[in-house]
Structure 1
Amino acid sequence: MIIKKATIEDINLIVQIYRSDMGKFGTGHTTKDLINIEKDLTNEFYELGKNRIILIGFEDERPVGTVQLVFDYVENDSELADGKAVAHIHHLRVAYDLHKTGIGKILMDEAEQLAKARGFKKLTLVVDDWNQNAIEFYLHRGYKQFKQDPAAKEIYVSKHIGI
């Protein structure tokens, strides 16, 4: 797999990855959800290079996965990212037909290495509490739960990556 840092020109490729699993698991996604995701992605792309790196993975020129690394200002919660020691993993997505093939692991390895190279000591992420496959994936990678938001149906996990 080839991984590159995404540019604004890659936004439609990332939307393709999101579309691949729309409605296939969890609560199901609607067309309205996809429109909101596209709006969010557009806003996130404005932070490229400043507060965020977006990675995209390709196999045979097909976009197969994406993940974001956010440095600061996640939901105005310094516990999630503080720009110094704590960064945040956001929107790990793998094309639905390629789940459980190792693509997510490769993307996470790359994001964790980038965070470590920038001097971050800890990574956080938020996962939907109904997404048991994702929860198990992150726990297997060494992430530990530190908070839960029952109202939002989210679990917060973190992992120490530095000394």
Structure 2
Amino acid sequence: MDRELNIIRVHLYQMKKAFTVAKILNCCGKDMSNKYGLHHWDNPMIKSCVIVFLCLLKNQIYLVLDAGTSVATFQIKVLDDVLFFEKLAVAPNVSGKGYGSYCMKLIEKRAIKLGLKKVRMEVYDQSEHAIDFYKHKGYSQVGETGTLKYTDLVMEKAVGV
């Protein structure tokens, strides 16, 4: 990505922007279900909205726009001495065009700016395409964690060292 994109932080009172984030997550869930048979994000739209509004209470949520069009979203929070990110999603109609990599660079730069040495996230253990993407970006598995239905790999990368 050789151009700067517009990055907007979404706040609790910005219902329309929060709905846009939910729409991207929902479309990604449907896309992963259709392409890979993965159903961990395949939710009804109302559930995607509820998830986003709950996440607004604990995370900083960002919306990425290219020429005014919403193309991606991600969420970050500081946990101890690590920048944790989750729900990185690129709209399926623009997937593969560098937006995910752009978001990863932003996340890592933010960690460095905050004086943090590591970036960490969790990824569904069956999501091979996502695992490969993160490995290609220098992330390695440091553990596992479970949810009610799924097992996630904990992946991490040292930054700013």
Q: TM-score, length-normalised on structure 2?
A: 0.82
Query: Is 1:116 the equivalent of 2:112?
Result: yes
Which residue matches 2:72?
A: 65
> CA shift at 1:162, angstroms?
2.8
**Separation of aligned partners in 2, 1:139 and 1:161:** 14
> CA shift at 1:99, angstroms?
1.4
Q: How many residues align?
A: 146
Whichever structure has more helix as a proportion of its residues is 2
SS in structure 2 at match of 1:24: helix
The unaligned stretches of length 5 or more in structure 2 are none
Counterpart contact for 1:143–1:159, Cα < 8 Å: yes
Q: 2:60 aligns with which of 53, 65, 74?
A: 53
Counterpart contact for 2:26–2:48, Cα < 8 Å: no
Q: Deviations over 1:121-158 (max 9, x none)?
A: 11110001111111111101110101134773211100
**Separation of aligned partners in 1, 2:29 and 2:85:** 21
**Separation of aligned partners in 2, 1:68 and 1:129:** 20
Percent identical among aligned pairs is 23
C-alpha change, 1:95 and 1:106, in structure 2 (3 Å) is same
Which residue matches 2:46?
A: 35
SS in structure 2 at match of 1:22: helix
Which residue matches 2:134?
A: 138
Counterpart contact for 1:55–1:66, Cα < 8 Å: yes
Q: 2:151 aligns with which of 150, 153, 156?
A: 153
The unaligned stretches of length 5 or more in structure 1 are 72-80
> CA shift at 1:98, angstroms?
1.4
C-alpha RMSD over aligned residues: 1.8
Query: Is 1:6 the equivalent of 2:3?
Result: no
**Separation of aligned partners in 2, 1:59 and 1:27:** 28
SS in structure 1 at match of 2:48: helix
Which residue matches 2:86?
A: 90
Letter in 2 for 1:133: H
**Separation of aligned partners in 2, 1:68 and 1:93:** 10
> CA shift at 1:13, angstroms?
1.3
Which residue matches 2:102?
A: 106
**Separation of aligned partners in 1, 2:82 and 2:102:** 21
Counterpart contact for 2:24–2:91, Cα < 8 Å: yes
